[in-house]
Amino acid sequence: MRSTTYGKGLPGLALATIVTLGAALALTFFYAPLDANQGFLQKIFYVHVPLAIVALCGFVFAAVMAIMYLRTGDRKWDMRSYVAIHMSLIFGIGGLISGSIWAKASWGHWWVWQEPTLVSYLIVLLLFCTYQPLRFSIEDPERQSLYASVFAIVAGAFVPLNFLAVRLATEYVHPRVLNLEGGNLPGPMKLTFYVALIGFVLLFVTLWKYEMAAKDARAQVRRLRRTLLGDDAGRPYGRSAAPL
């Protein structure tokens, strides 16, 4: 039986995540200056924007993993894509809720339907929310992996296209503080933001590896059971959306 590789380096990674996120929190509340317009409320920026960026990049990462599955046919790529989408959805929901709280405090509304950035983000999130039901609706594991991979690629390609479309929009209220030239953030705010972004990237990678290790261990237990006690013993209870 092959040994699990996803658990390797996990404690070190978890420690690095805690240290970086701790540093980001310290920088946010004790170093970054108050925003001239928003005041203390702008502190939400350091959690909301990294969460949204990591979630969107996670969807693209899942699409790359899905391409690898279609190229190789190896189920581990499908599992990686599945877990990446799962993690991205959690981060995406975090970004959505924190953004909504910020909008309520800043604009007086929980949600602004006229705002392309908000609506496009919601569309991407809802699109990926259908990934799990799609998997669950297909019983045959091979077909499930195949269709889910095609979905992940198409939906993943939609993410950068959607981002570009929103960037080209002229009518928006959502502020644009980041661009390829570095944006218009002052130095201490920029440093705090990048530390927070690195912290959330590390958190994503840690949780992704953690879930992969858990799923891999579970699959190994199932395989062992099947080998030792017969085919029926290792069979999962009912239909599963997760790759087997």
Partner 1 sequence: MSPLLAIAPALPLGKAGKYVAAAYIVVFVLILVYVGIMALRAQRTQRELDELRRDVEAVKAAREELEHDDDPDESDPAGRGRTERTEQIA
Interacting residues with partner 1 (CB under 8 A): 34-41, 43-44, 47-48, 51, 90, 93-94, 97-98, 101-102, 104-109, 112, 172-173, 175, 203, 207, 210-211, 214, 217-218, 221, 224-225, 228-229
- The CB-of-6 to partner 1 minimum distance in angstroms stands at 13
Helix (H, G, I), strand (E, B) or coil at 182: coil
The two three-digit tokens of residue 154, written as one number: 């198409």
* CB atoms near residue 6 (< 10 Å): 20
- Name the residue nearer to partner 1 (CB basis): 163 or 210: 210
List, as one string, the DSSP characters of 63-130.
HHHHHHHHHH--HHHHHHHHHHHHHHHHHHHHHHHHHHHHHHHHHS-S--TT-HHHHHHHHHHHHHHT
What is the nearest approach in angstroms of partner 1 to the Cβ of residue 7? 11
Single out the residue of 71, 116, 64 nearest to residue 85, CA to CA: 64
Minimum Å gap between C-beta 143 and partner 1 is 26
CB distance 190 to 182 below 8 Å: yes
* CB of 75 or CB of 225, closer to partner 1: 225
- Residue among 5 and 72 whose Cβ is closer to partner 1: 5
Q: How far is the CB of 225 from partner 1 (least distance, A)?
A: 6
**Is the CB of 147 or the CB of 211 nearer to partner 1?**
211
